[in-house]
Amino acid sequence: MANTVEVKVLKYKFLFRPIFWREDFSIKADPKLDRRRQILAHALVEVSGLKIKDIKEATRVFAAIPISIIDRIFTIYKGSLPAPRVFQTLGLYKAPEPTRHARRMEKEIRDQETETFRRAEELLESKYGKEELRETRELEMAILKGSKLRGATRATPDSSEESKPND
């Protein structure tokens, strides 16, 4: 076989097939057996020319070998496998700068609020008329003046407008 790994131990020649990560993770772990023995048993193809028919046969082969030898076989097997392939992606999405994106979102929100207030004002104008709206505003200003501005605060400038570069 062209894609196999050969490990020689004393007079025996073990032939293993490569196990890739998906198959490695799909192996059901038996808590009674060593994990290295299980992986090697799944990968074993033949021993000195004798074909291995199933996993049980391969498990019996590795049950007779001491753990120190299993450790060496496993190290040689894993070290002899071809290097894993690395994939790269091209054309990834480049996110905008967070502060610039936040400013754009604030501007969109302000524009939507302005449009909403304009529509509400037009609705009130159509419902009550311009004269009544003007009288209501004058009444509100008189109430505010009569309260001597108790509880009223000066409008604070919006920080995003102060430090905003021209977009």
Nearest to 43 by CA among 63, 68, 14: 14
Q: What digits encode the pLDDT tens for the residues 4-40?
A: 777 888 888 888 888 877 887 888 878 888 888 888 8
65 and 119 fall within a common domain = no
Contacts of 106 (CB under 8 A, 6+ apart): 160
Domain membership flag for residue 47: yes
Length of the chain, please? 167
- Among 37-41, 86-90, 146-150, the range with the most confident prediction by mean pLDDT is 37-41
| Domain housing 32 | 5-80
70 and 120 fall within a common domain = no
Domain count across the chain: 2
Domain membership flag for residue 98: no
